[in-house]
Amino acid sequence: MHISEGVLSPSVLVTGAALTAAGCGIGLKKLDYDRVPQVAILTSAFFVASLIHVPIGPSNVHLVLNGLMGLLLGWPAFPAILIALFLQALLFQFGGITTLGVNTFNMAFPAIICFYLFGYAVKGRNNLISNGAAFACGFFAILLGSLMVAISLAFTGDPFVGIAKVVVIAHLPVMIIEGLITLFSAGFLKKLKPELLEVVHAKR
């Protein structure tokens, strides 16, 4: 869901940068030093997962894992996603430096929303509810992210409205795949390292 350079209007770029700066500030404030290795691992997973992408006009389709990052990190997902996107823009020219703020916000803010919506349910003892919440976390993180990309393009001008609609539709398969990835990852962690979920939600 990277938006390329030279597409967005200055007002959208400035707004995205300001919102991302605020999100990163909150994320760094809430980040405990003992969780830095966890953040680094998830940043690496995000970096690798989104390397394989299919271009769609000024944007593209790829795995994101922002739902899983939000579930495990909470607000620190903001600086984690920012670092991964910066390295991708620097090393592979995915997205860009000027669009870094918008791209980060479009992926990180849905992660935070899903963290609050589904986090408690995922760590619950009812397996049916927990699995459903984990799937919804991955699914809706991509849905919200694609909608935010579409809104960013739509606010830039009428020529991008049609592309904005295509971006949302093209991400439907990714929503299902990410839902399944988050479902299996959360289930695995609940059995192997349940404290990863407990610690995050105890320190909101």
DSSP annotation of 126 reads -
Q: pLDDT tens, 130-181? A: 999 999 999 999 999 999 998 988 888 767 777 777 878 888 888 999 999 9
SS3 string, 79-102, reads HHHHHHHHHHHHHHCCCCCCCHHH
The confidence score (pLDDT) of residue 115 equals 93
Is the model's pLDDT at 78 over the cut of 60?
yes
- Please state the φ and ψ torsions of residue 56, each to the nearest 5 degrees: -135, 95
The arrangement of secondary structure in 10-202, i.e. its CATH architecture, is Orthogonal Bundle (1.10)
Which sequence spans correspond to the domains of the chain?
10-202
Span 88-141, pLDDT tens digits: 888 887 778 999 999 999 999 999 999 999 998 998 888 899 999 999 999 999
Q: pTM score, two decimals?
A: 0.86
- Is 58 a residue whose pLDDT tops 70? no
